[in-house]
C-alpha cells in the first residue's frame, strides 16, 4: 500500500462500520484474501491473459491483507495504465498511487463483472501490488473492517 502506508506501519480498523453501511470505492480495508493469495497469482477461474481474475478461490485465507476498494458488486472492471476502469470510466484522479510501470497487470483490457457481494481490491503501489488483479474479488464476508487511522510509528500518526 505504499506510499499511503509504509511496510510495518500500524493501523486502526473499525470492525463494526460495515454492519451499518456498505463498503465504498476508495475505502482502505483489512480483509482475508482468497486462499492462495499469499503465494501469488492463484485465481479461482480460467481467464484471458489480458483480463483480471474474475473469481477467487473458494477457500478463505487466515492471513490479513490491507488494500483499497476500486470496484464493487455488479461493476464492470478493466485496468488501463494501472488505473481501474469501472463501468467504462477510468479513475485517473488517484494522486495517492505509485505509477504502474508497464507490467502485464498494468493493462487488463478485457472487462470482468464483479460478482454480487464481492469487492475488487488494488494496492496503491500498482506496479508491485499483489491484489485482486491476480486472485480475484473478495467476498464481503471476508472483510474485517475499514482502516481509518495510523498509530505507529509515532511520526506517521494520522487519519487515512
Indicate the pTM of the whole model.
Answer: 0.95
CB neighbourhood size of 34 (10 A): 25
Report residue 35's pLDDT band, with 50, 70 and 90 as the boundaries: very high
The sign of the torsion formed by the CA atoms of 128, 47, 81, 117 equals negative
Under CATH, domain 10-159 is a member of which superfamily? Umud Fragment, subunit A (2.10.109.10)
* 47-72: average pLDDT: 95
What percentage of residues in the chain have a pLDDT greater than 70?
99
Task: Report which DSSP code applies to 110.
Answer: E
Give CA–CA dist 83/78, Å, rounded.
9
Report residue 158's pLDDT band, with 50, 70 and 90 as the boundaries: very high
What percentage of residues in the chain have a pLDDT greater than 90?
92
Average confidence score pLDDT of the chain = 95
Q: Is the pLDDT of residue 40 over 90?
A: no
The sign of the torsion formed by the CA atoms of 122, 128, 133, 135 equals negative
Given this model, what pLDDT does residue 41 score? 66
What torsion do the CA atoms of 44, 31, 103, 113 make, to the nearest 10 degrees? Answer: 50
pLDDT in tens, 70-81: 999 999 999 999
Q: In terms of pLDDT, which residue wins out, 42 or 119?
A: 119
pLDDT in tens, 109-123: 999 999 999 999 999
Amino acid at each position: 500500500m505504499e506510499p499511503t502506508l509504509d511496510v510495518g506501519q500500524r493501523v486502526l480498523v473499525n470492525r463494526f462500520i460495515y454492519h451499518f453501511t456498505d463498503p465504498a470505492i476508495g475505502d482502505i480495508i483489512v480483509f482475508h484474501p482468497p486462499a492462495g493469495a499469499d503465494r501469488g497469482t492463484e485465481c479461482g477461474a480460467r481467464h484471458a491473459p489480458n483480463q483480471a481474475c474474475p473469481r477467487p478461490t473458494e477457500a478463505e485465507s487466515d492471513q490479513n491483507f490491507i488494500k483499497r476498494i476500486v470496484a464493487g458488486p455488479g461493476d464492470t472492471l478493466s485496468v488501463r495504465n494501472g488505473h481501474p476502469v469501472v463501468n467504462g470510466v477510468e479513475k485517473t484522479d488517484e494522486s495517492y498511487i505509485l505509477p504502474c510501470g508497464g507490467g502485464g497487470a498494468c493493462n487488463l483490457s478485457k472487462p470482468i463483472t464483479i460478482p454480487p457481494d464481492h469487492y475488487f481490491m488494488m494496492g496503491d503501489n500498482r506496479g508491485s501490488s499483489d491484489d485482486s488483479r491476480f486472485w480475484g474479488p473478495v467476498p464481503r464476508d471476508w472483510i474485517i473492517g475499514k482502516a481509518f487511522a495510523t498509530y505507529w510509528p509515532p511520526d506517521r500518526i494520522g487519519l487515512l
